[in-house]
Amino acid sequence: MDFQLIAQPPTVANREPTHLKCLSRKAFRRSILLFFSIFIRNRNAFLVLVGVVAAFKVVLSAVAPASFDLRDIIMLVASGHAPIGPWIALYPPLYNQTASNVRRLQSWPLTASLGSDLSLATLSLLFRLPVFLFDLATTIVLFYIGRKMESSVEGRLMGLVWFLNPFSFFGVELLGLPDVVCVFLVVLSFLLLISERPVLSATALGLGAFVKLFPFFLLPALLVYMHVNGERRRALLSATFVGALGFLGYLGWVLPYGLEYLVTPTPVTQLMPFVGGLPNTVNAVTFGLFAFYCLLIIFVKKRIPLSMFLSTLLVYYVLAEPGPQYLIWLLPLLAVDVVVFADRLRVSIASGLLVFAFLQWFLVSSAFLTPSGYSLLMFPLGGASLPSYSVAVGNFLDSNLVGIIILPLVSSATFAFLLAYTAEQIRLWFSVPQAG
Amino acid sequence: MQGVWPHWRKIVYSFCGLKFLAILLLPIGGDFLSWIIGASYVLQTVLAGELPSLSTYGVYIGIETVLAPFFWVWTKLPVEHPNLSSLVQHTAPAISLALLMKFPIFLFDVATLILLLRVVRHITNSEQKSIVAALTWFVNPFNFYMLYFFGAMDVIPIAVFMLAVDFGLDGRWFRCGVSTIISGLLRLFAFAVYPFFFALTKTKPSRGRLILGAVLPLVLMIGLLYLSRDTLATVFNVPAKEFWLLEFLGFNVLGMQFVRWSPVLVLFQLYVVFRFWREDTNIVYLASVSLLALSLGATLYGGESQHFLWLSPLLSACVAMRLEDGWIYVLTFFTALMAPTVNPFYQWTPEPILFDTFLAAAFYAMKATYLLKLNLSNLRIT
């Protein structure tokens, strides 16, 4: 021990910033905890809150009109010429493909009011209940992640950040997309990783990639982590194998319907980064991801699984920019990040990102318009005699103000917050060690 | 002080003479004529007993209102007052009009010089550095061309903005907020700088004062809009008429729908400042990087070098504070002067089409370099 150094009085320059930062971080964290304290400190209160919100979600799942995405899935099944693969398992009403049932399903998205018709409400619920279960399962996994990294209190807070978030509610139950299955598998993969089960973690990623492509991009990050963590070569090979198997499974159900499903965005596929673009041009996503993986290999010398997973997804999202609703891919890990680190600036950036992305989503989707002419918020936006508030919303969305000023500013702000949050994550590679 | 520095006042006086000569001899044209016409319309409206409206006169109404009294004085002079479209150059009416209407340029040019002296002296405690800042502003050929040849009235909001910088240095955040927003209402640029000032307001009261200072002129402006019978709809339709305002938003980023480069750059710069900059940085650096980011992101009209005038006093202060960056300063202003939309030597440039892209790219590259350099020199060392 260097006694001389200890004996020296600390200078203002080396004492104040760290001290103040710790205080501010603690105070901020305390203020968040205070707000949620009833629900996160008391197990029963937490369960009651989750139960009430779950009931609310189920009721709205029964009465909200069908989204364009749900209609597209019905159309895909009806056409018989497009891939649907494992997705069909999520939608029980699609199991029965008799002509009369398909006709009934096709008429469902055009029906505005579901509350009065019990059979339609049941149909809507059956379409949305499986994804709701995965939503709930993601909350549970988040709780265990929090408990593993910090304590049950943090676990509950993480679960609530995900489960109470309007982003996930609109993105999961109301749109009815199966992305939440992959989200659940990614979160499960992360839990397995921090529980020192890397091969099982890769298996979860492989299963995710079988359903939708994006979890596959986490596989290189997982392998780099395993390498940094000193895993044996056999474990690395096993992880690569199970991850690649999921990807091959994905290709197995998409490729029989032609290459265009890999290069054209459809409900079941998204633009694949390694395919597409003009001949003899550089595909920006391919270039960006390869460069990112190389940087990851060069710079990451620490065990920072959260930052590695989150920054990979963020970089993919920044490069491919698939649309604001797909931020739910990141949302659970983002919840883990803001709760574990509770840094004022990072929480502000994450909140700004979600707020602006939600606003952008609201504007580009014409207030969550559905094929029935009703918004997912259940006010009419189409039809002959509209109430005055619907006309006002419609006029506002069609105005120059939105098209040429608000939308570019909101979209740019979303992208800027996204870049800043990505920088925040990548910055961790170089400095702050991962908690837990 | 050695060399030319003890004689800096003589240099300034000589340039004052040169600038007056330019006012008298140069023909009325370019942007200058548009300003005179705008001021005359505003004067007519006021004399008719009405308030000029934003929806009629567009976003330049603020500066045109400042110029209107000068135009009114000209109408009272004992000279002929021909129609502006039939004004003959170098006649008594034209010379007197040029003298009166360019006088605000000269006035605010000198005001900026004085404020620069104050600001740099306050930051560096060095008289020599403050003189460097003042002279690089006052004798800069780019500024000389933009102000006295082109007739850029931006110098009016620039001087108001420099006043805000001066108030900020003194910790008078209420006045700083008021001046910044007034400057922004005259020309939109200052709005991009405003959030950066929060990096310097360490306490809640000072933050509150900065916010209150911004709210006050905005409330007054809304009151004036109401009195001039403007509605929100007509105000928001202004960019549809003056489409070039939207050019400030910049390119689409990577071809992404609706995402524009300029707000992304400014917001990302804001993040860099709050996360990575030293806490003892100064207001000049903050204002410079925000405007550099804006200028780098904006395309065409917004990114043209005529709007680079906004950065000129700030970069003068920056170069005075860090003399080793002099080469970047010189190259930046050289490329700004040579950029295709301003280049006074354009007609003599060999193969203008061939050189257009080269000169424009060189100017953008220098802006990017300056932005990077200022960021690097303000990074927190951990």
Residues 208-247 of B with CB under 8 A from A: 236-237, 239-240, 246
For residue A341, pLDDT over 80 is answered with: yes
Q: Which of A12, A415, A419 to mutate to test the interface with B (most CBs of B within 10 A)?
A: A415
The three state secondary structure string of chain A is CCHHHHHCCCCHHHHHHHHHHHHHHHHHHHHHHHHHHHHHHCHHHHHHHHHHHHHHHHHHHHHCCCCHHHHHHHHHHHHCCCCCHHHHHHCHHHCCCCHHHHHHHHHHHHCCCCCCCHHHHHHHHHHHHHHHHHHHHHHHHHHHHHHHHCCHHHHHHHHHHHHCCHHHHHHHHHCCCCHHHHHHHHHHHHHHHHCCCHHHHHHHHHHHHHHCCHHHHHHHHHHHHHHHCCCCHHHHHHHHHHHHHHHHHHHHHHHHHCCHHHHCCCCCCCCCCCCCCCCCCCCHHHHHHHHHHHHHHHHCCCCCHHHHHHHHHHHHHHHHCCCHHHHHHCHHHHHHHHHHHCCHHHHHHHHHHHHHHHHHHHHHCCCCECCCCEECCCCECCCCCCCHHHHHHHHHHHCHHHHHHHHHHHHHHHHHHHHHHHHHHHHHHHCCCCCC
> Per-residue confidence at A379, pLDDT binned at 50, 70, 90?
confident
Query: What distance in Å separates residue A345's CA from the closest CA in chain B?
Result: 8
Residue B290 C-beta-side C-alpha neighbours within 13 Å: 23
- pLDDT of A157-212, one tens digit each? 999 999 999 988 898 989 988 899 999 999 999 999 999 999 999 999 999 999 98
CB A357 within 8 A of CB A414: yes
C-alpha to C-alpha distances, A428 to A307, A341, A432, B150, nearest whole angstrom: 7, 11, 5, 50
Contact A381, A369 (CB under 8 A): yes
CB B329 within 8 A of CB B140: no
Nearest alpha carbon to residue A340 among A99, A104, A146? A146
* Residues of chain B found within 8 Å of residue A415, distances taken between Cβ atoms: 253, 256, 259, 264
Residue in chain B closest to A395 (alpha carbons) equals: B233
Q: Which residues in chain A touch residue B251, judged by CB atoms under 8 angstroms apart? A: none
Dump pLDDT digits (tens) for A267-298: 666 656 666 666 666 777 788 888 899 888 88
Choose among A39, A73, A246: nearest CA to A153: A39
Q: Which of A289, A341, A402, A412 to mutate to test the interface with B (most CBs of B within 10 A)?
A: A412
Cα gap A175→A72, rounded to integer Å: 11
- The whole-angstrom separation of Cα B328 and Cα B264 is 25
Q: Which residues of B touch A427 (CB under 8 A)?
A: 275
* Per-residue model confidence (pLDDT) at position A433: 41
Q: What is the pLDDT of residue A282?
A: 73
- A187 in Cβ contact with A225 (< 8 Å): no
Residues pairing with A369 in the sheet: A375
Mean pLDDT of chain A: 84
B-chain residue closest to A405, CA distance: B246
Specify the length of chain B in residues: 382
> Is it the case that residue A353 has pLDDT exceeding 50?
yes
Sign of the four-CA dihedral A59, A61, A66, A71: negative
Cβ contact B271–A423 (<8 Å): yes
Residue A2: what pLDDT?
33
Q: Which residue of A has its CA nearest to B255?
A: A321
Per-residue pLDDT of chain B (382 residues; tens, 9 = 90+): 667 778 889 999 999 999 999 998 888 877 788 899 999 999 999 998 888 888 778 888 899 999 999 999 999 998 888 887 777 888 888 899 999 999 999 999 999 999 999 999 999 999 999 999 999 999 999 999 999 988 889 999 999 999 999 999 999 999 999 999 999 999 989 999 999 999 999 889 999 999 999 999 999 988 888 888 777 777 777 777 777 777 788 877 666 678 888 999 999 999 999 999 998 899 999 999 999 999 888 875 556 777 889 999 999 999 999 999 999 999 999 999 888 777 667 666 666 666 777 888 888 899 999 999 999 999 987 6
Residues 274-293 of B with CB under 8 A from A: 274-275, 279
The complex's ipTM? 0.81
Block residue for tokens 């006050």? B216
Q: Which of B54, B73, B74 is nearest to B64 (CA)?
A: B54
pTM, full prediction:
0.85
Cα–Cα distance for residue pair B340/A159, rounded to 1 Å: 57
Q: Which residue of A has its CA nearest to B271?
A: A420
Of A349, A364, A408, the CB nearest to B260: A408
CB A155 within 8 A of CB A147: yes
